[in-house]
A and B are shown apart, each in its own frame.
Chain A
C-alpha cells in the first residue's frame, strides 16, 4: 500500500481563515517532503519542501510542520484566498538508490475556500 496519505479528502474553510492540511507517512526512511498544489486542469505546482532534519519551515503564507515521532506532516495556509482552492498533495522522497521512483505522492486533499 501507499506509504503517504492524507487524513481528509476535502477541507472547506472560510475566506480569510487559516487552513491546515494533514498528511501521514509510514516510511521512516523518508528524508525529504514536498507539498504540491494542483489547480483544476493543471499539473502539480511546488509549494514548499522540508528536510527530515527540520521540524518547521515557513514560506509566504505557508508553513510546513514535520513531526517525525508520529510520522505526520502538515501544511498551514494563512489567510486563505479564493486562489488557494485546489488539491494539495504531500510527497515524500525515499532515498532508495537515488532513483526517480523514490518520489511518492499521497492521495490529495481538496481545499475549498468559501466566500
Chain B
C-alpha cells in the first residue's frame, strides 16, 4: 500500500509529557498537511508544508505544537507539555493540490 502512513496509530500519555507523531506521505506528493479531529467533528487545519517549507500555520497551533518536514519527505508533529484538551485524532494528508488530499488513518492521542 503506497498511501499516507502515520505512526503510531494510538498514543496514550500523561498530562505534561511530550509526544511526537510521524507522517510518511505518498512519495510524489510535495504538499503535506496536518489536521486535528475531535469526536463528531470534521478535521480542523493545523499546518501545511510545501516540500520542506512550512507555509501556513493555523491559529489553533499553539506554541506547544511544532511540525517539521526536514527533507521534504516525512513530517513530524510534536506536542510539548500535553494537556487533556489535546486529546484528539491527528490526521496527516498529502497531495499535489489542495483539491486532492489523501489522508492517512491518523494517530489517536489520549492525554490522561
A interface list, Cβ under 8 A from B:
4, 9, 32, 34, 41-46, 49, 89, 91, 93, 98-108
Contact B56 A100 (CB under 8 A): yes
Instruction: Write the chain B residue with the least CB distance to A6.
Output: B42
Q: What is the CA–CA distance of A93 and B43 in the complex, to the nearest angstrom? A: 14
Instruction: Write the chain B residue with the least CB distance to A98.
Output: B98
What total of chain B residues lie within 8 Å of the partner, measured CB to CB? 24
Q: Which residues of A contact B45 (CB under 8 A)?
A: 100-101, 103-104
Contact A105 B42 (CB under 8 A): yes
Contact A100 B106 (CB under 8 A): no
Contact B58 A101 (CB under 8 A): yes
Q: What is the CA–CA distance of A41 and B89 in the complex, to the nearest angstrom? A: 10
CB distance from B2 to the nearest CB of A (A): 15
Starting from the known contacts A42-B106, A106-B42, 14 additional A-B residue pairs (CB-CB under 8 Å) come to: A32-B99, A43-B4, A43-B105, A45-B103, A46-B102, A98-B98, A99-B56, A100-B45, A100-B55, A100-B56, A103-B45, A104-B45, A108-B40, A108-B41
